Structure 1
Amino acid sequence: ANAWEQRKFDEVFDCTIPSNTLSRAELNYESGSVRNIHYGDILIKYGSVVDVKNDEIPFATGKSSEDFKSALLQDGDIIIADTAEDETTGKACEIGNSQGLDVVSGLHTMVCRPRNKMALGYLGYYLNSDAYHHQLLPLMQGIKVLSLSRTNVQKTMVCYPQSKAEQQLIADCFRNLDHLITLHQRKLDMLKKLKSACLSEMFI
Structure 2
Amino acid sequence: MSDSLVAAANRARGCAGFLPVEAVMALADDGVLVLDPFSTLVSPGVTLAAGVTLWPGTIIQATGGGEVTVGSGTRLFPGTRIVAAGARVTIGADTEIGEEGGFTIKADHPDGLIEIGSRVRLLGAGSLALDNHIGDGAQILGAIRMQNCRLQAGGSHRDPDPDRRGGVLKGSGVARDLTVPTGMVIQAFGLFNEAPLRPQSFFHPKQRT
Q: Give the TM bin, normalised by the shorter chain.
A: under 0.3
Q: Specify the structure having the higher radius of gyration (Cα).
A: 1
User: What TM-score, normalized by structure 1, do the two folds share?
Assistant: 0.25
User: What TM-score, normalized by structure 2, do the two folds share?
Assistant: 0.24
Task: Return the structure number with greater strand share.
Answer: 2
